[in-house]
Amino acid sequence: MICPLANFEEVFQSESGAVYQCSRKNCYWLDFMGTTTAFSVRDFFQFKKRVDAIDLEMMLSNSARSFDFEIIMPFRTEHIFILNVEDIVRLRELLAGAKFMIELNSEIRSCLKRSLSLTF
């Protein structure tokens, strides 16, 4: 459940979910598969790395039932993600879009700071 007192800004949204930034708590909220999970900034990027490291080719090529799903328990959260290949692709898309928007925002702020310092 998202804190009603928090100040959220949408970072990125896709058909699969959304990522929000909370300026009050300095964290990211992932809304995916009907659940909402809070991450510290560091944990969010580590979660993305972990999702990106999943070997989809192995999951698709191996016929054993144990390769049908991937279970991810993000650090310092109470949520467990049980993902099939389609879920992983959708989550990767969502996390990649969010990371791109975070980096773009950071770059824009950096450019604005440089241009302001040149005018003074």
**AA identity, residue 61:** S
- Written as six digits, the tokens of 97 are 């879009």
Distance CA 10, CA 18 (A): 7
**Number of alpha helices (DSSP H) and beta strands (DSSP E) in the chain:** 3, 6
Other residues' Cβ atoms within 10 Å of the Cβ of residue 98: 25
Per-residue confidence band for 6, with pLDDT thresholds at 50, 70 and 90: low
19/31 Cα distance (integer angstroms):
6
pLDDT at site 1: 47
Tens digit of pLDDT for each residue in 42-82? 999 999 999 999 999 999 999 888 889 999 999 998 899 99
Residue 119, pLDDT score: 66
pTM: 0.86
